[in-house]
Amino acid sequence: MRKKVAIQGIRGSYHHGVAQAYFGNEVDVDECMSFQELVHSLEKEKSTDAVMAIENSIAGSIIPNYAYIDEHDLTISGEYFQPIHHCLMALEGQEISDIKEVYSHPMALLQCKDFFREQPHIKLVEDADTADVAKRIQEKQLMGIAAVAGETAAAIYKLDILAKRIQTIKSNSTRFFILNTREDSGVDKKEINKASLKFLTDHKRGSLATVLNVMSDCGLNLTKIQSLPVIAMPWKYSFFVDVTFDQYEDYQKAISILKIMALELKILGEYKNQNG
């Protein structure tokens, strides 16, 4: 079956770049203008897989996406770390002093706040997608309007780059999850050395520490922990964690213990560590 990958945004977006890097340059994509639409694309089988940003080295976690993965029972089958180099782009013949407004995805604008602090004449406007703004500027010939997007978007939609690498931290990177709705991630057990889990603990002193100690005792390395409130239970939190391990057997042992200790344990995905 030919893969079709749901992306947030359009061709030329960072999600599109990750889809190409992970699945090949000729990958067929379903362009979605929101993460909710991306999830529906998977559920309605318009796509076989999806690429979803989950955290950025500057702006932090995209917390609603953890909830999407959990609530819609999506499976994490891989991850990809993409360097993010934002550019300011506009129609040909303009300079930064000509720009009145800049449109882009809110995460992109947040990652460039220091650059725009030096450009007080520019109004920042949040939009759905980086590349879609670039496309709109070209199609509607919008003068005085610029986009924050990647160099690929500038090339595809034939815009001039007014400034390169305008992100606050030059080593800016975003982590993306590769998602599907299959129960098994499809990754060979011999290659699996990372997992994403969700668990709830008793509301007792030391409950979280006890769970984390079990992970450590079983040889798991905790690389990420994120708490989210449980909507139906005020002041109760679920924990989303990423763990890495050398031996799959160590991970299995930890899971068997955690199933007994935790109030709830859910395996969101088992995959190959891309950052190790």
pLDDT in tens, 222-275: 999 999 988 878 878 899 999 999 999 999 999 999 999 998 999 999 999 998
Alpha-carbon separation of residue 126 from 7, 110, 139, 173, 272 (angstroms): 19, 10, 19, 20, 34
CATH class name, domain 87-163: alpha beta
Residue 276 confidence class, pLDDT cut points 50, 70, 90: low
Q: Is the pLDDT of residue 1 over 80?
A: no
Q: For residue 186, is pLDDT > 90?
A: no
Alpha-carbon distance 227 to 235, whole Å? 11
Phi, psi dihedrals of residue 4, rounded to the nearest 5°:
-130, 125
Look up residue 144 and give its amino acid: G
Q: Where are the domains of the chain?
A: 4-83+173-180, 87-163, 194-270
pLDDT of 185 > 80? The answer is no
Model pLDDT for residues 77-115, shown as the tens digit of each residue = 999 999 999 999 999 999 999 999 999 999 999 999 999
Mean pLDDT score across all residues of the chain: 94
Class of domain 194-270: alpha beta
Report the top-level CATH class of 4-83+173-180: alpha beta
- Tell me how far apart the alpha carbons of residues 67 and 76 are, in angstroms, rounded to a whole number: 13
Q: How far apart are CA 94 and CA 141, in angstroms?
A: 12
Alpha-carbon distance 17 to 14, whole Å?
5
Answer with the residue of higher pLDDT: 163 or 1: 163
Cα(173)–Cα(151) distance, rounded to whole angstroms?
A: 15
Same fold, 87-163 and 194-270: no
- Please list the alpha-helical segments (H only) found in the chain: 14-23, 35-43, 63-71, 106-111, 113-117, 130-140, 151-156, 207-217, 248-261
Which of 163, 157, 165 lies closest to 119 in space, CA to CA?
A: 163
pLDDT band at residue 64 under the 50/70/90 scheme: very high
Does the pTM exceed 0.75? Answer: yes
